[in-house]
Structure 1
């Protein structure tokens, strides 16, 4: 393997990142950054940590990297927050130093082989800048930090030279009031992000970091045990890919993002999961499986956290990967569809821990459509493990209005293929927020909306029927 630290490889890396990963999309509604968004100071924060080394990307890192290339975005995560009164710049710098020391993905940059293959390089020491911005006295600091956060998400990212976190403090009338923290998705997945926030908020009580870091994950994956796991997973993928349609010819389309806020769906899912004694995520997957258009098996691509694996439960790293399953549910009663989806989903969860390059090879050899089916990501926190309160009655279900849909983004750069993310609605504690992404060349806006409506309507209909049949 060529030395990735050579000037040739570095030049290849920079060219690859510039050519294939463009600036991230701005956050809708965040406001346009203005000329005042210039740091008045950059505080150098020196750090050190263990685990330095160079190696292949882990499977989770490799999968999110391929997603970045496909979407032409560095997929920034993070956000801004208010600082507690009395917070000092020195205190924020100490927090940043602690973060860089504790979490190896924060000290990880990419190096590229002469052929352009990315490697992870974990640094044992370094210096990162903490930017300081002064919001004008007569301006709103929240609007200022929101614009700053959007600007930092929109700036191109240099995977070779930049540390994977951009942190900035906003001062208003001399006092630090807000913090913006933007990271590349190579750092962690959603569950790791929540763990990160909890540990940073209570640093004094954070125990030793016992999670398996990505460099160690990659070493395990390259060993005998990893190869055995990969071989078993690939057999599942090969069987499922054989059921997929052929890859269609390229077609021009636009990529849309929409949001459906619904109170009817969570009421119905509460009933269905309780009465059928089924996981609510399984219920949602069965509803969408029967709502999908077309003939043949319903293909679902659930996002799997992989955190049930040893060493992954409390690691701040990118370990989530897409699984795959196919279930014949067309025309079946909902109870049978729920059973079939549950069986298929268990295999998807078990075999989502796999080398994404090997999976791509299976698709290519089969000539199958790698974007077939519905990509599904259940990101709920409050209701994921169960709904609070009594089971709704039939009258409550009949009274629930259909969800409200609005299209929020239209663009040329691709999102994921037909995809639905499920979140608890932050604006309405009793609602769910469904975020849908679609390629209009495959499924126009009307078809994507119909998919959501069919799932919602079927949920309500099946829940009412189940309530009325229950003695």
Structure 2
């Protein structure tokens, strides 16, 4: 049996203003994926007893937690509407009512019921102007809630802010709601960005973009062969993970910089250029007030890496320095950047790099026991899997996935300009560059 439970909430304020720059970035990503924009939705299930959160949990604990989260985090009660000029604006509600979908189940079927509820809440796209960007549900066995289910629209936050939101929700479910004030709300962020200080920050970043956009090729892949056709390929390499760890330790840089360098070298070789230009996804959470902000803070940074005729080794340090510059200049007005790009002509910004791991900026120690024989023995365990993709918003988008003990890379590509053979060549080339450089490093120290 399914029942809908209304939950009232009241926050500190309401209002309407422009989107923050981070919200604009997410809004544009959503628009590029329509009608497949539900793929950006995020969700999780909390098994209250199995995870040690609480026992004999009454329904009131769930409804109180939802009301608390809605009041605490303004992005959960923010909807997006278009004004008369077609500009997207955020509308923050001070109060309202959200419904919880309650499912009754037997004890041995509760976990399966929670998974089904998660799919049901996550799969439909959100109605951005009319629906709260949060969907909630619960599974009840008798008088006790066993599972709480949450699905959120990507406009609520990015993956960096999701950690803070989940932490606060779990604290509420455990009966110990967080009392410390939250970090900067998206509404405050948007107002700051419209101020004189915000405009100065944007102008500084855009001067960096203007200097480096000249390095962006007008077309790096050539003319499309027909309509865009997309594919997703994932390379999973235990050997690559060992190699990345060893090289990060040798160069005293992040593992992200090592992977970025290998991608840059391989991309430059396959496109016949001496520089690799990629947009990197920057969380911006190193900035004051944004570490635990439950709101979108990520924007694209422009990363220009000199490759030349070098092998991987010398490029790693350049990739680290180039990525740091990209991170420092990744808060800007996207509309102003559009105008700048339009002035410069048809530059190709279709290549992006996104490290999805939360520890990507942390220098690491070499994996214990890495040896030449171990690297070679691990190579046969590499796998490459393929999935068709109906639509994607970039010609080349390389993701680094959080898979322990494995270098896990997913490349989304438009096969009308970067065909499947080149996609496989690219992913295997990255692995080869990393393993070859690591084997060379081990030979030197032997």
Indicate whether the TM-score tops 0.5.
yes
SS at the partner of 1:202? helix
Structure 2 CA distance for partners of 1:77 and 1:170, relative to 1, 3 Å: same
Structure 2 CA distance for partners of 1:65 and 1:260, relative to 1, 3 Å: same
Equivalent position of 1:211 in the other structure = 183
Alignment deviations for residues 26-65 of structure 1 (CA, whole Å, 9 cap, x no partner): xxxxxxxxxxxxx721111111111421101000000110
Structure 2 CA distance for partners of 1:162 and 1:222, relative to 1, 3 Å: same
Distance 1:165 1:180 in 2: 11
Equivalent position of 1:406 in the other structure = 385
SS at the partner of 1:323? strand
Equivalent position of 2:71 in the other structure = 101
Tell me whether 60-69 or 139-148 shows the greater mean CA deviation.
Answer: 139-148
SS at the partner of 2:146? strand
Structure 2 CA distance for partners of 1:351 and 1:132, relative to 1, 3 Å: same
Structure 2 CA distance for partners of 1:383 and 1:69, relative to 1, 3 Å: closer
Does residue 279 in structure 1 map to residue 254 in structure 2?
A: yes
Structure 2 CA distance for partners of 1:274 and 1:152, relative to 1, 3 Å: same
TM-score (structure 1 length as normaliser)? 0.85
Structure 2: runs of 5+ lacking an equivalent: 50-54
Tell me whether 280-289 or 177-186 shows the greater mean CA deviation.
Answer: 177-186
Equivalent position of 1:66 in the other structure = 28
Contact 2:281 2:355 in 1 (8 A): yes
Distance 2:367 2:373 in 1: 16
Q: How well do the aligned residues superpose, as a CA RMSD in angstroms?
A: 2.2
Equivalent position of 1:191 in the other structure = 160
Structure 1: runs of 5+ lacking an equivalent: 1-38
Equivalent position of 1:118 in the other structure = 88
Distance 1:434 1:468 in 2: 27
Contact 1:59 1:355 in 2 (8 A): yes
Equivalent position of 1:418 in the other structure = 396
Contact 2:299 2:331 in 1 (8 A): yes
Contact 2:235 2:383 in 1 (8 A): yes
Distance 2:250 2:7 in 1: 55
- Count residues in correspondence: 427
Distance 1:65 1:237 in 2: 22
Distance 2:365 2:171 in 1: 28
Does residue 81 in structure 1 map to residue 30 in structure 2?
A: no
SS at the partner of 1:81? strand
Of residues 420, 433, 446 in structure 2, which corresponds to 1:458?
A: 433
Tell me whether 444-453 or 79-88 shows the greater mean CA deviation.
Answer: 79-88
SS at the partner of 2:245? helix
TM-score (structure 2 length as normaliser)? 0.89
Of residues 34, 41, 48 in structure 1, which corresponds to 2:10?
A: 48
Does residue 376 in structure 1 map to residue 353 in structure 2?
A: yes
Alignment deviations for residues 334-391 of structure 1 (CA, whole Å, 9 cap, x no partner): 2321122222212111111111122222222222345433x11112246763358525
Deviation at 1:163, TM superposition (A): 0.7
Equivalent position of 1:144 in the other structure = 113
Deviation at 1:173, TM superposition (A): 6.2
Distance 2:181 2:223 in 1: 48
Distance 1:447 1:207 in 2: 53
Structure 2 CA distance for partners of 1:81 and 1:388, relative to 1, 3 Å: farther
Deviation at 1:175, TM superposition (A): 4.4
Of residues 209, 225, 235 in structure 1, which corresponds to 2:197?
A: 225
Does residue 295 in structure 1 map to residue 272 in structure 2?
A: yes
Contact 1:210 1:311 in 2 (8 A): no
